[in-house]
Structure 1
Amino acid sequence: MSKNISVATPDCRGLVASSQDVAPERGVAISLFSGAGGLDLGAEQAGYRVHAAVEYNNDAADTMEKNFPDLRSPVIRQNILEVPSAEIREAAGLGQKEQPELLIGGPPCTPFSKSSFWLDWKREGLDPNASLLQEYTRVLRDLKPRYFVLENVYALTYNNRQSRPHFNRLLHEIEEYGYDCNWEVLNAANFGVPQARPRLVIVGAPKGSRTPALPKPTHGGRWERQDVGKSDSPHVTAGEALEGLHTVPEPADTVAGQYGHLLPGIPPGGNYLHYTAERGHPDPLFKWRSRYWSFLLKLDPAKPAPTIQAQPGPYVGPFHWENRRLRVAELKRLFTFPDNFELVGSRNSIQAQLGNSVPPLLAKTVIAALTEQG
């Protein structure tokens, strides 16, 4: 697929409400680090209208402009370090003394991603992107929204020198700028998303208003060898999410190269460990735990998808149980984007936009729990 091609699928079965099926109007939202708009779509489904967005990546900005007609200005496509808060306020159509109802955003997570711990300079906390957390709190301080939602990788909460100092600074700044907050690592699967995707979510409101709240799980099941969530409402499975979805082959479907031919031999839910002596394979090809767990990982239709990455390697799953890569329409289902949501860019760009996004259903649930108490 060539760059800058819009990709859409028929609006057949979706796991979330369409953009027309929303809660009563709640007010203006401003979006930072918008990406493909997962948080934004959840905010709109919770009753807000995204009037301004800041997103540096052109494909993601194009995606935002295609899907969010309430934007009062084009997406601000600058590095947020160079964007004054006053410019963001103006882009939202707010006067100098007007405050947005909601500020949302997920600063890039690479400095704190679990998959980056093997890089010495990241472990030392030297990644310059870590400062983007302070750009979020700077806008929070200047625009003084009624509520805020900040999302990031859960590894930001780890008690190590790479993550914890940044997390502590973030919480200190939120408090210093006049907000009470609650934070928790939420697994998207516990909220009806057909993907086990743990993310750090911080919600806040001005001091003295009330204590901000996070939602309680609506679904539950097994995850990482333990029972999680709400036991009487099972997780939504990948098979349920993809049921009835008709897709056409894509150029990148085939998993080829040195290891692609091994995929058909792996059972649904399995990975490269199928080809180890410990799993009883007669001709072992790999040593036990010699690869990352997602190597040759295949979806199990009876379980939620594992976390889908933004930039997977050639043999990094999850792959479809039909022994191919997941198609764009399938990825959207597994993230709870509506079937008619349009993504702009190359196939790799679309994978990155989705892999970096917050599932809209999780975003809607978080924002509704935060604001419906007010």
Structure 2
Amino acid sequence: MFKTISLFSGIGGLDFGFEEAGFETRVALELDRFACRTIRLNRPGWNVIEGDINNVPSADILSKASLKVGEADMLIGGPPCQPFSKSSYWVRGDTLRLDDPRADTLAGYLRVLRDTQPRAFLLENVGGLAYEGKDEGLQLLLGGIRDINRQVGTNYQPSWRVIRCVEYGVPQIRERVFIIGARDGRSFRFPEPTHMGTGGKSQDLFASAREPFMTAWDAMGDLAEPNSLEGLQIGGKWGDLLPTIPEGENYLWHTPRGGGRPLFGWRTRYWSFLLKLSKRLPSWTVQAQPGSAIGPFHWNSRKLTFQEMCRLQTFPDGLHVDVGRTEMQRMLGNAVPSLIAEILARAIRAQLLNAPIKSSLRLMPPRRLPVPPPITPLAVPREYLGMVGDHAPHPGTGKGRGAQGLPTAFKVQSRQRVLSD
């Protein structure tokens, strides 16, 4: 077992993937008490440090892991991503980014890397860390790694890539940036995508060898409906409207350009507003802090269960949780899909640690065929018919009420992403 130090461990998304590839989490550092409780519940053998990384000396981390400087095989971690997320752009027009106090976690990761000097490291963050023209966080990390090499004599040569997890078999659209390096200067080559959508054309000459995207049905089609819908029903103003939306659609179905009734203006709400999973498509990103009408929701017009969200995140089966719905959703929504961690851990073993592994991926979902037909949507209830009318579309990026400083219930996402494959 390769000895691993885990930072910003969350519920264990990265750790579970590395675990399946033969790595042992010797210590996990996490600030959130609910995540720490969940780790202890599911992995009682892990040493857990509950605290802020900037208040925990590196010597304490090594001591808890029973390791000396240079003895760890891996350092892994995903510093909290809020300063670099896409939501920061449209909520505030831009973001403080490095001036945001939460960005101090990047310096914390670099400090532990310098002080522990593992054989290899992996750092994960949201794709926004590497946005063109807004990549100061990425440049801070790359510059910090060069400084470490000068200070302690290591030779980390970091490689980085923005990865669409769905292109590697994860049944969920989630984009993350990964930075990987080895202490002895070996370069790391990221594995190439293995999956693609079935529609459209690709310029990749090797795309024909790829598998179709894994779907939400592949992930959780074998799970029975919960015995109780307590806590899973959609309440509030829009709960009774969700059953009128077809699988794979959102509120745009009920706009002048959709196939339903004209209840809303085009792109005047969040993309995830009344968003429903399709059995034939990957899931959209599981949200960490959704509102009452923010999906993705199950095709049976309800919230997803803990087990279903774990499947979409490709966590190993058998996990348990003893926290409330809000804390559970936040932990899972902030996590890294464990399958992408397993894939990268295997590549690290082969390229950087001289220990390739040839067995099949353990967290890859199976294909589940046949796929049941979509559920027929219901008619729009009478209570919403008063909304039928001629609704204007959103005027465009930077022109909405929120951008002009006017009050609005929803600030429209300026960069809406749809599954075009």
Output the TM-score relative to the length of structure 2: 0.77
1:253 to 221, 228, 232: 232
CA distance in 2, matches of 1:310, 1:169: 26
The equivalent of 1:319 in structure 2 is 297
CA distance in 2, matches of 1:349, 1:254: 17
Is 1:196 the counterpart of 2:173? The answer is yes
Q: CA deviation at 1:230?
A: 4.7
Please list, as runs of the form range in 1=range in 2, the aligned pairs for 1:35-114 lying within 5 A after superposition: 35-71=10-46, 73=47, 75-95=48-68, 97-114=69-86
Q: CA deviation at 1:180?
A: 0.7
Q: CA deviation at 1:98?
A: 4.5
**AA at the equivalent of 2:81:** C
The equivalent of 1:221 in structure 2 is 197
* Stretches of structure 1 lacking an aligned partner (at least 5 in a row): 1-24
Residues 29-78 of structure 1 show CA distances to partners (whole Å, capped at 9, x for unaligned) of 0100000001011111111100101111111111112223442x3x1111
Does the 8 A contact of 2:9 with 2:28 survive in 1? Answer: yes
Please list, as runs of the form range in 1=range in 2, the aligned pairs for 1:112-127 lying within 5 A after superposition: 112-120=84-92, 123-125=95-97, 126-127=99-100
The equivalent of 1:137 in structure 2 is 110
CA distance in 2, matches of 1:104, 1:236: 26
Does the 8 A contact of 1:147 with 1:371 survive in 2? Answer: no
2:269 to 281, 284, 291: 291
CA distance in 2, matches of 1:67, 1:174: 33
1:206 to 183, 205, 208: 183
Q: CA deviation at 1:122?
A: 5.8
RMSD: 1.9
Q: CA deviation at 1:265?
A: 1.1
The equivalent of 2:319 in structure 1 is 341
SS of equivalent residue, structure 2 residue 136: helix
328 and 181 in structure 1: CA distance in 2 versus 1, 3 angstrom threshold? same
Residues 54-107 of structure 1 show CA distances to partners (whole Å, capped at 9, x for unaligned) of 111111111112223442x3x111111100101000010113x44200000000
CA distance in 1, matches of 2:292, 2:85: 20
Q: CA deviation at 1:314?
A: 1.0
* Higher Rg: 2
The equivalent of 2:138 in structure 1 is 167
SS of equivalent residue, structure 1 residue 177: helix
SS of equivalent residue, structure 2 residue 212: coil
Does the 8 A contact of 2:173 with 2:284 survive in 1? Answer: yes
CA distance in 1, matches of 2:217, 2:15: 27
Does the 8 A contact of 1:141 with 1:177 survive in 2? Answer: yes
28 and 69 in structure 1: CA distance in 2 versus 1, 3 angstrom threshold? farther
Is 1:31 the counterpart of 2:6? The answer is yes
**AA at the equivalent of 2:142:** L
280 and 46 in structure 1: CA distance in 2 versus 1, 3 angstrom threshold? closer
Residues 326-370 of structure 1 show CA distances to partners (whole Å, capped at 9, x for unaligned) of 111111111111220123311111111111111111101011112
305 and 180 in structure 1: CA distance in 2 versus 1, 3 angstrom threshold? same
Residues 166-207 of structure 1 show CA distances to partners (whole Å, capped at 9, x for unaligned) of 221111112222311111111111121111111111111125
CA distance in 2, matches of 1:286, 1:187: 31
CA distance in 1, matches of 2:194, 2:188: 19
CA distance in 1, matches of 2:239, 2:190: 42
The equivalent of 1:13 in structure 2 is none
CA distance in 1, matches of 2:106, 2:322: 27
* Stretches of structure 2 lacking an aligned partner (at least 5 in a row): 150-155, 355-421
Q: CA deviation at 1:280?
A: 4.7
Does the 8 A contact of 1:203 with 1:213 survive in 2? Answer: no
Residues 234-288 of structure 1 show CA distances to partners (whole Å, capped at 9, x for unaligned) of 111101211221233342211121112111111111000011112254x411111
CA distance in 2, matches of 1:289, 1:192: 30
1:148 to 117, 121, 132: 121
SS of equivalent residue, structure 2 residue 329: helix
The equivalent of 1:270 in structure 2 is 249
CA distance in 1, matches of 2:259, 2:221: 33
Does the 8 A contact of 1:263 with 1:323 survive in 2? Answer: yes
Residues 12-32 of structure 1 show CA distances to partners (whole Å, capped at 9, x for unaligned) of xxxxxxxxxxxxx3x210100
332 and 137 in structure 1: CA distance in 2 versus 1, 3 angstrom threshold? same
